[in-house]
Amino acid sequence: MITLKGQYIYLRALEPEDLEFVYSIENNEEIWEISNTQTPYSKFLIRQYLENAQQDIYEAKQLRLAICLNQSSEAVGLIDLFDFDPKNNRAGIGILIQKKRDREKGVGTEALGLLIQYAFQQLQLHQLYANIGLENKHSLQLFSKFGFQEIGIKKDWNKVNGIYKDEYLVQLINRKK
């Protein structure tokens, strides 16, 4: 049985009520490097995005879920499947815990584990991949816990504040099929 609920967190679809939460994440310049964002998003655009969030992954080619704490139901982050490719049974995966106080407490580990299980069992994906900046040691450790392997380094991949930075490509292949 597939569950998107863990011991400490659960994953849920985005709701219109998540407008302020998503707005604060998308407009936080400190994380633009991770999300590959270059400009702020208006509440109007985010409202439109949330209104269309009912599209399934086959239509939108993306699945974005809120990471919520079981005790309070507070949304503390987002986890995504992106570039969903049903022909080749693969997708990219990304995760963000919004506030530093909620990081390094197992929230990301539990969320990533739940989404990997969903992707492999429910969506029958063959592989997942992630793009991780070389300096992002915490994310590299997180993905390594689940068996993601470094496939290569994309040189000068992202331009951040006028400087080109390298990025790891990590991959997890579902060998249990």
- The domain limits of the chain are 9-126
Q: Which CATH architecture has domain 9-126?
A: 3-Layer(aba) Sandwich (3.40)
Task: Summarize pLDDT for 118-173 with one digit per residue, the tens.
Answer: 999 999 999 999 999 999 999 999 999 999 999 999 999 988 888 999 999 999 99
Distance CA 128, CA 47 (A): 29
pTM for the model: 0.89
The string of pLDDT tens digits covering residues 54-75 is 778 888 889 999 999 999 999 9
Q: Is 7 helix (H, G, I), strand (E, B) or coil?
A: coil
User: Which of 132, 116, 44 minimizes the C-alpha distance to 80?
Assistant: 116
Residue with more model confidence, 40 or 12: 12
User: Please, are residues 79 and 135 in contact by the beta-carbon 8 Å criterion?
Assistant: no
For residues 9 and 12, give the distance between their C-alpha atoms in angstroms, rounded to a whole number.
10
Residue-wise pLDDT for 82-116, tens only, equals 999 999 999 999 999 998 888 889 999 999 999 99
